[in-house]
Chain A
Amino acid sequence: MTLMKSLMGAAAAVALTAGAAFAEPALIFDLGGKFDKSFNEAAYNGAQRWANETGGKYREIEIQSEAQREQALRRFAESGANPIITMGFGMADPLSAVAGDYPETKFVAVDVNWLDIPNIRQIGFAEHEGSYLVGMMAAMASKSGTVGFIGGMDIPLIRHFGCGYAQGAKAVNPDINVVANMTGTTPAAWNDPVKGSELTKAQISQGADVIYAAAGGTGVGVLQTAADEGILSIGVDSNQNHLHPGKVLTSMLKRVDVAVYDAMKAGDAVETGVFTMGLAEEGVGVAMDDNNKELVSVRMNDAVEEARKAIINGDITVVSYYENDSCPALQF
């Protein structure tokens, strides 16, 4: 500990003598809070990994209200933090108001990819592509011909997940029945495992035997109930296969942690522009590890691998929900 302290002290001294060119990065979590077992926590993990590897420090805030989005951006920018990393699409509007006032500061916006501002690194994830692959796996693992989708809050982003999933399932079995439910219409829907559990039971009674949860903390209840009832589930964002080994078919990975880690590592030299993290960039993907090895047959693995390549080289096009605010494979 003392060694660590003196090391850090030395590092601080070096930084100070370097003429204050060193700037701390800052991380702004979305309303869900940093321990949401999902999106924000992935960012936290990425930031912690950077902090542990480099011994660096970063500023952070978990915003509590809409008015704080712009406030946090301005305060961090004025204090010299660089880069400032923001989580969630809700930051797009405040960023477009603030970023222009601080041209020297680099901003990194996760889940935003439609702004036209030079000093923002915008990172969008192709969630529909990853969801397509887990949809294929669900359809191949299903014996009943019915698979389920449980979303968190009913917003376009979650429909985007569900839409890719349904397309993947239908690509394997055109007659498959996809049941989709949303947990709620308020932010509480991100953290309601009890309701997630109830929805899971409801979908089981409709015949679903594989259920994909894209619902933040609510998904914990979905995975638990699915394991209790002896059906398969699919996790989201982080690798959740280990939560119930042998019961979670796979997880749709969204590598927010990598995006945050990379941005912090690049520091104030981070490259700006619009970046889409799809299958090709390994920004999304399916989780294969020891916990789900026995659930994934060779045939399944090969099919997924083939589809992954086909999506990357353009032979398969997964329709994005955003294109015309509707889904060809699923009605919400």
Chain B
Amino acid sequence: MPKWADVVLIPLISLMLAAILSALVILAIGENPVEAVKLMVSGALGSTYGWGYTLYYATNFMFTGLAVAVAFHARLFNIGGEGQAMLGGLGVAMVCLYVDWPHWSVALLAACAASMLFGALWAAIPAYLQAKRGSHIVITTIMFNFIAAAFLNYMLVNVMRPQGSQDPATARFPESVHLPTFQSMFSTAENTVFRGAPVNITFFIALLACVVVWALIWRTRLGYEIRAYGHSETGAVYAGISPVRITIVAMLISGALAGLMAINNVMGEAERLVLNSTEGAGFIGIAVALMGRSHPFGVLLAALLFGFLYQGGAELALWASIPRELIVVIQALVILFTGALDNMVRMPLEKLFLGMRKRAE
């Protein structure tokens, strides 16, 4: 099968199938699917406001998607992005609250470092257990999500909550660490764009992260080792690559990327740490990485798609009488078709291309 079919055609057909099924579901509850699509498209892409939310969600998903993708290259299934991003948020909150920063740019650098450190630390323990003890990374990372939730709850309810506040959240971060939003960056005096939207400078950091991950995986020795280990452990060992080292290093990078998400949602959007700050982005990252074929550019596109689904879904919930469960169904159908049912589209297509090639010969 030609490469373009693998990276373009299969995801497109999968998406079409998901869209058709979603349309049937919308029809079944007595709503108009064409109207629904119009609402979603105009709500998510029809204005700078819509783009502002779409890109905000996409930024989250890019980080967690990259996190899952890096681990994938080493054949490690990191489903602990959720917990790692939570801990990253804790790091960001500590940096922003407990240190007096002169300017947001310095704070941003420190917050990046802290979020990466906390995320990586949270991934380090499952990585160590996998590398040294053989405890399966899927089990340990998902368990660490719950531990992270409990830990964050403890910190917010008992330690970081301002005295007397009823909301289990930290205080608001000081003005000096507020990140510039697209609204403040791109608005002119007469024309306000991205009004009220949470997208902020972190988006560019996410783009940068895509480039860095691409360079790391395909242009460095470490990336080569990670891929070699992922393709064949015995082959990698034969070539003198240490499985323990690669497992731990890949997971540390993965955890750091997931943790980095916190500068977008905690520092950029909420400007304080709330209990529910990650909202499943760690899990969406798995779908994003699957759909993006673990390639940073694919992750970028898939993240944009899921950003669109999130923001379009919100507009749908606001203006149509479509219950939110159904919006989750639509999102789930996309994940199902692009991730889990990949072979359903791939196998007939492979046969088709094989047949075409034979005939050409």
Q: Does A155 contact B (CB under 8 A)?
A: yes
B contact residues around A271 at 8 Å (CB)? none
B contact residues around A67 at 8 Å (CB)? 53, 56-57, 198, 265, 269
Q: In the complex, which of the residues A31, A71, A187 has the most CB atoms of chain B within 10 Å of its own CB atom?
A: A71
Quick one: closest B residue to A160, CB to CB?
A: B166
Please report which residues of chain A, range 28-68, place their CB below 8 angstroms from some CB of chain B when the two chains form the complex: 31, 33, 59, 61-68
Q: How big is chain A's contact interface, by range?
A: 35 or more
B contact residues around A325 at 8 Å (CB)? 161, 163-164
Quick one: closest B residue to A62, CB to CB?
A: B324
Bound complex: CA of A93 vs CA of B324, how far in Å?
A: 23
Bound complex: CA of A324 vs CA of B146, how far in Å?
A: 29
Known pairs A67-B56, A68-B314, A111-B166; list 16 more (Cβ under 8 Å).
A33-B324, A61-B317, A62-B317, A64-B327, A66-B276, A66-B277, A67-B57, A71-B314, A76-B318, A114-B166, A154-B157, A155-B168, A155-B275, A156-B166, A322-B164, A325-B161
CB pair A64 B314 closer than 8 Å: yes
Give how many B residues have a beta carbon under 8 Å from the other chain's beta carbons. Answer: 39
Bound complex: CA of A324 vs CA of B270, how far in Å?
A: 26
- Cβ 8 A contact of A154, one of B153, B163, B198, B318: B153
B contact residues around A66 at 8 Å (CB)? 265, 269-270, 274, 276-277, 279
The proximity string for B residues 22-51 relative to A, scoring 1 for CB distances below 8 Å and 0 otherwise, is: 000000000000000000000000000000
- 27 residue pairs from A and B, CB less than 8 Å apart: A59-B318, A61-B318, A63-B317, A64-B328, A65-B310, A66-B270, A66-B276, A66-B277, A66-B279, A67-B56, A67-B57, A71-B196, A71-B314, A72-B314, A75-B318, A89-B166, A90-B167, A90-B274, A93-B270, A111-B166, A114-B166, A155-B153, A155-B168, A155-B275, A157-B166, A185-B152, A325-B161
CB pair A64 B317 closer than 8 Å: yes
Q: Does B169 contact A (CB under 8 A)?
A: yes
Bound complex: CA of A185 vs CA of B148, how far in Å?
A: 10
Q: Which residues of A contact B (CB under 8 A)?
A: 31, 33, 59, 61-68, 70-72, 74-76, 89-90, 92-93, 111, 114, 153-157, 160, 185-187, 322-325
Bound complex: CA of A186 vs CA of B153, how far in Å?
A: 8
A contact residues around B310 at 8 Å (CB)? 65
Q: Does B88 contact A (CB under 8 A)?
A: no
Q: Does B227 contact A (CB under 8 A)?
A: no
Say whether, besides A89-B166, A93-B172, A185 and B149 are in contact (CB < 8 Å).
yes
Bound complex: CA of A67 vs CA of B14, how far in Å?
A: 29
Q: How far is the CB of A254 from chain B (nearest CB, A)?
A: 15
Q: How far is the CB of A111 from chain B (nearest CB, A)?
A: 8
Q: In the complex, which of the residues B56, B166, B310 has the most CB atoms of chain A within 10 Å of its own CB atom?
A: B166
Bound complex: CA of A155 vs CA of B153, how far in Å?
A: 8
B contact residues around A186 at 8 Å (CB)? 146, 149, 153
Please report which residues of chain B, range 308-329, place their CB below 8 angstroms from some CB of chain A when the two chains form the complex: 310, 313-314, 317-318, 323-324, 327-328
Bound complex: CA of A323 vs CA of B166, how far in Å?
A: 10
Quick one: closest A residue to B270, CB to CB?
A: A66
Q: Nearest 8 A-B pairs (CB), nearest first?
A: A185-B153, A185-B150, A62-B324, A65-B279, A186-B149, A155-B168, A89-B167, A89-B166
A contact residues around B317 at 8 Å (CB)? 61-64
CB pair B276 A31 closer than 8 Å: yes
Q: How far is the CB of A115 from chain B (nearest CB, A)?
A: 11
Please report which residues of chain B, range 243-298, place their CB below 8 angstroms from some CB of chain A when the two chains form the complex: 265, 269-270, 272, 274-277, 279
Bound complex: CA of A51 vs CA of B172, how far in Å?
A: 38
A contact residues around B198 at 8 Å (CB)? 67, 70
Q: In the complex, which of the residues B56, B164, B277 has the most CB atoms of chain A within 10 Å of its own CB atom?
A: B164
Bound complex: CA of A71 vs CA of B50, how far in Å?
A: 10
Q: In the complex, which of the residues A114, A155, A187 has the most CB atoms of chain B within 10 Å of its own CB atom?
A: A155
Bound complex: CA of A187 vs CA of B270, how far in Å?
A: 18
Bound complex: CA of A213 vs CA of B333, how far in Å?
A: 36
Quick one: closest A residue to B147, CB to CB?
A: A185
B contact residues around A31 at 8 Å (CB)? 276
